[in-house]
Structures are given as C-alpha cells and as structure tokens.
Structure 1
Amino acid sequence: MSDLRHGEPLAKQRNIDPIARTDHPWDLPATVPLPHRCDCPEDSVLVIPREANLPIDREAKKVVARVSQAVVGVASITVYGDQLWRASGFIVEFDESSMIGTIFSCATVSEHIPMFPKIDKIRVYLFDGTSYDATIEACDNHWNLLVLSVSFGRAVKTMNMVEISENRNAMDVHLQGFVLQPHSASERLCPGDTIIGLGRQSTEPFGLQANCGVYSYERWADLPRFCHEMQKATFINTYASIGGPAINKNGRVIGMLFHDLDCTPFMPSNIILKWWDHFKKTRMYCRPTMRVFGVNLHNAQSSPWVKVPTSLYESYDDGFLVERVPRSVKSAGLQQKDLIITCNGKPVATSLQLFEILAENIGKMVGVTFIKAEDNSKHSIYLPVEETLEKNFYSWPIAQYSNLC
C-alpha cells in the first residue's frame, strides 16, 4: 500500500465534500444462523435487511454539508509504512492558539494483533487528503474508545456533542400511551427520529460516507459480554465508518458508530463525554459496574434470559430489569427478574441513567431499590460500585475486521 507523507494531500483541495456512494447490503448473506438461540427456532436466524438505509433528502444533505469537514479518516500505520486498520473519527475540540485538536475514534484502529505487523503510528486524514500524525491521549478497550491529539497546520472545524435522553412514544404497546420525559437537560431522542451516520475513507479520494436511518429502542445485542448501553440505528454502515459520528437532524453528535449485520449500534454521547471528563480529571478510565447484567424494561420482551412477568409492565412505566447477576449479588438480595427503579436515591428508568449514577460513585457503596416480580414488593440493598476488571471487558466482534473497507 502506498502511504501519505505528513501533511501532504494526494487529493486536490476541495471546496465541497461530496457523499461517496455506498451500496448495500454488499455481499452479506440473506440470513445468518444464531447458535445461542437454538432453543428458540423462530429466532435461530438473523435476517439481513435488503434495503436498510433511507435516502438522504435535501435537508439532511444540508446538515451533513455543515458538519462533514469535522469527520476524519483514521488509520494505523505499520512499521513498514503501510495502512493496517482503518476507521473514522470526528474532531470535538480545537485550540486556535496552539492549533491542537482533539479527535474521538474507535480503539480498534490501534489494536495490535500478533499475526499482523507492529503499529508504528496513527494517522488522521482530512476531507481533502491532508494527513497528520496523531498522539494517543486515551485508549480504552472496554468501551472501545480512542482519543487522539493532533497538531494541525490550519484551522479545522469541530462537532458539537450532546447527551441524549431515551424517549418512547405511544407505539409501544407495553407503555399504553405513556411517554418517558427527559431525565435531564439532555436532547430528546424518540423512536423514529432521524439518525445519520458519517464516516471518512482513509484512502483516495477520502470520500465521505453518510447513511441514514431512524432511532430504534430495540436492544441491539442480547449477549452479556457485548456493550448493553449501546443504542440502535436502523441503517447499515461500512467498517470504514466505525468510530465516526452518529448525528441527529440538527447536526449534533449523539454517539459514536460501531457495526452489526442488521443495524448500526452507536455508543451514546452520554457515556463518551462522562468517560472523557473523568479521564481528564483523574487520568483513569471510567468503567463502573455493579456486576449486574440487564436491560431496559421497555425492550425486555426480547430477553433470552428471562420471561418478563406482565405484572411489571402493568405496574411500572420503566426500569432496569435484572437478567443475570453473580452469586455475591444474589446473596445480597438482588436476583433475576428484579426491576431496579432507583440508585442512590435517583430514579433509574434506563441503562444510561444507571451508568450516569454509577460513574459518579466508583469505589463507593450505592443504595439500590428494586421491585420483586412475583409480588411487586419493594426492597433496598447496598452494593459496591467497582471498576470493571480486564477479564470482564466488553467483547467487540469487530476486533479483527477486514482491511478492505
């Protein structure tokens, strides 16, 4: 592979940033078997959508054009000077006095795998092909987050990140018309809202990828080792877009893109911003856990681990449903099918709310109030908020993704 010299673009300077065409669903099969669902024949295969992506209309194109130059290509460069892993990223901070910018991307791009050449550096590519070597400021393999610092040779654009508040509408039969109100000053995100995923190629012509879909509150994965704080967009992106921004109709970043076969999971900005703020203050990563695996009540009907009692749906608008717990937590009183409704005195309706509370109490004990499914009785216990151990880090199936993206 040919390589770019520092700061020297292969492409001509462009005043526009056109969207590169991406065909879907490429060479994906129509169905993929799911071994872990073998006990449920009706759910034993994953159906790959044939037309998952929505057309990008005129208004969406305007939004994309406004923010696209802050979307960058990211590639790891081997000791031989070749590109190895490719991803995308987005510029979130820029200091005009020092000309230093901060970029969020995916930690996968910096991963060293023994069978591949050693990575020498990480390089960032702007829309016109200009490239810069980056310094890794933070790299967390649990959340799969990478923060890069770049000394730019010119002023660059940035993107505005906003936290989201998960909302549902009356279409959910389990809510009987109830609408969850925003739990903070976060930006509302409701089912059916437009989400656009952006990415940047790291090779000529450094094209912008843009895929459009809608927000879905259905869970994106039901395996405990996969990140269950992820949210779901209905479009399908390419591997090159991993690490790129998920934006709303106003052009604000609501999360970071990852990849799945039948949708696009994205890490909510809530987690990224709190994680980054915690790191800047403490130089430590924010990986809180109570060692409880669960799901939001509003999408628990898809749970492979527990059959949710209808009494919970009838009595509670939402909460965090416990699906699996270790023996030590069971002995404290919290068990499968219990519904967590408060933590440290604050309401818990979703996994994001629970994360926000735990992130502020790492190394402390928190009070957890929950409802027993069998009789709707209310109980309270205290549990420690611990740092997630490396052996319990989230698994990321894209760890050895194809270089042909």
Structure 2
Amino acid sequence: MLIASGYPLPSFADDGMYLKWDFEEGFGRDIWTEPIGRVASEMSQSVVALASFIVEFEGSGEHKKEKKISRRFACTGIFIECDESTTRILTSASLVRGSSDEKNIHPEWKIEVCLPSKERVDGTLQHYNLQYNVAVVSIEGVCSYRAAKLDETSQSEVGAQVVALGRAFESGKLMATDGTVTGKRSRFDCEELQMSTCKITKAGIGGPLVDFDGNFVGMNFYDMAQTPYLLRVRILELMRRFNAEWTAGVACETPDESKFPSWPVPDPEWVYPSRYPEIPRAAQFVFD
C-alpha cells in the first residue's frame, strides 16, 4: 500500500512512528465557522483533487489492461471552464514534474481527478508552464459543476482576509483555512509569488486562494511557514497564452530551460519519535 501510494518504506519499526509530508495530511478545522464555512460552501462545487500515477499495461489487443504501479503526486485544482464536451481544471504543474529533475515533465503519467461528488474520472494534461508551475488538465463529459470566475476583481491588498481551499484525493474531503495577505515575498525563485498566513499542507498545492466574497485571489503553493501564491493577474495572462496556443494547435508549452525556477516540495519521510524526538514547539526558532 505504501509503494502504491508513492511513499517510502520505514527503515525499521518503532512505536509511534508516523509519515510526515504525506498527501493525505489535511488542514483547517473539521467544523468551519463564519465566514469560512460560507466561502467553503460556495466554492465546494469548484474544487477538485488530482493525482498522477505511473502505469503499465498487461496483455494486448482487446485484453489489454491498465495497471497503476505507484502514485507520483497529489494536489488540488479548480474548475475554470465547463461546457458540454470539455471541462478544464487549473492546478500545479508539480502534478507531472519529476521530483529529482523539475525540468522533466511526464505527460505519459496517468492523471485521475476526484470530483466534488467523489467520483473519479481520467484527466488529460492540456497545458503547462514550468516558469510559474501552472498546468491545465481537461476532463470529458463533466459539465454539472461550477467554474470559478478568474476575471472578477478580488480583495488582495496587504491585510486582506483570505481563505485557502483544498481537497484530499483519497477521501475527497474539502478543506479550508483562513489567513491574511502579508505582502511579503516568497523564498522561492519566482519573484512574483506573494504570501498569505494561511497554513495548508501539500494536499492544498494548486488550490485556490479566495477572498471572503469567494473571488479568486491566486493559486496556492506549499511552504512550511506561510503559503506562497501566484497572483490572479499572472494566471489570467497564462490562460490567454494557453488559449492562443490551443487555437494554434499547440497542446503544451515548449520548455525554455533558461526560465526554470525551483519549486521545492518536501518528500514524504518517516519520523521516529523514540529515537529522534522532535524539538518542543516552545524551543523552535521562527524565521521571518
């Protein structure tokens, strides 16, 4: 089960050991208060979970069957366009990036989408941009959900109250937590990232950051202290470029290796409390 989920095996048995930085770790509270509950309810039909898998095929011809070997990544996405034939989802390109080589995209990986109804459907990588770590995944025949309106003006000035949303892939659970826009710069290489005090987990990567009116502010990434996010304005520019490429018959961006910033995501690892006790919270240093 661990290998299939893309997790390492523990090196030895130890009472109380647990897996850190897994994709199932949730965030926020189980019971939401106003206005978080209202925002989450309004956005619940727009937020999905995605996962990528390495697959192999058994048999041939009519008897050819697909077998999932291991999961490579799991994250959140948001509907940005729904019509009768194709629905598009905005998410993070980390979904299909190699962990050891971030310049390597894997369009051959199988993508599954967990819908708000918890139904699983196949997804197709339609566009990606490695400079901003953004991807668009399409699914077929799903048109009963609500697309987020990226072009509506949102409250994103310093001090604005915001909500970060995510959905867990295995359980399908919707997650939400609130915070404020700080105006600080992220430690990541991408200088256009802004920061909020929303505390999310890896499951929230690619998920939306919205204001208290449910308007789209940006797309979240993961850091351990605060949450970096890519601004709505930049995402709109990318969507216009993607649409132009699609009209011209170009499915995905041609990578330009000179523009590749790093988008670090911590790998899952086992923690053994009896051998390596964690530093008490009061003794930990907080870096600004």
Q: Matches of 1:114 and 1:395 in 2, distance apart?
A: 11
Question: Equivalent residues in 2 for 1:138-217 (5 A)?
Answer: 138-153=127-142, 155-162=144-151, 186-203=153-170, 205-217=171-183
* Aligned residues with identical type, % of pairs: 26
User: Is structure 2 residue 228 aligned with structure 1 residue 265?
Assistant: yes
**Contact 1:88/1:201 (<8 A) preserved:** yes
Deviation for aligned residue 1:161: 1.5
Q: Matches of 1:128 and 1:278 in 2, distance apart?
A: 31
Question: Equivalent residues in 2 for 1:99-110 (5 A)?
Answer: 100-110=86-96
Q: Matches of 2:48 and 2:121 in 1, distance apart?
A: 11
**Contact 1:278/1:286 (<8 A) preserved:** no
Deviation for aligned residue 1:286: 12
The equivalent of 2:268 in structure 1 is 402
Deviation for aligned residue 1:155: 1.3
Aligned counterpart in structure 2 of residue 77 of structure 1, from 44, 50, 53: 53
Deviation for aligned residue 1:233: 0.5
**Contact 2:154/2:216 (<8 A) preserved:** no
**Contact 1:75/1:124 (<8 A) preserved:** yes
- The change in CA–CA distance for 1:258 and 1:113 in structure 2 (over 3 A counts) is closer
**Contact 1:278/1:285 (<8 A) preserved:** no
Q: Matches of 2:169 and 2:99 in 1, distance apart?
A: 20
**Contact 1:88/1:244 (<8 A) preserved:** yes
Deviation for aligned residue 1:390: 1.1
What one-letter code is carried by the residue in structure 1 that aligns with 2:264?
P
Corresponding residue pairs, total: 229
TM-score with structure 2 setting the length = 0.70
- Structure having greater relative contact order (Cα 8 Å, sep ≥ 6): 2
**Contact 1:245/1:253 (<8 A) preserved:** yes
Deviation for aligned residue 1:113: 5.0
What is the aligned-residue RMSD (CA, Å)?
3.3
User: Is structure 2 residue 185 aligned with structure 1 residue 219?
Assistant: yes
Extract unaligned runs of 5+ from structure 1.
Answer: 4-25, 29-51, 164-185, 288-386
**Contact 1:123/1:133 (<8 A) preserved:** yes
Bigger Rg over Cα: 1
Extract unaligned runs of 5+ from structure 2.
Answer: 5-18, 22-26, 56-66, 271-288
**Contact 1:256/1:266 (<8 A) preserved:** yes
List per-residue Cα deviations over 1:214-265 (Å, max 9, x = no partner).
Answer: 01112222x6xx1110111012210010001011111111110001121000
SS of residue paired to 1:395: coil
- The change in CA–CA distance for 1:124 and 1:392 in structure 2 (over 3 A counts) is same
TM-score with structure 1 setting the length = 0.51
User: Is structure 2 residue 241 aligned with structure 1 residue 278?
Assistant: yes
List per-residue Cα deviations over 1:149-174 (Å, max 9, x = no partner).
Answer: 111345122212146xxxxxxxxxxx
SS of residue paired to 2:185: coil
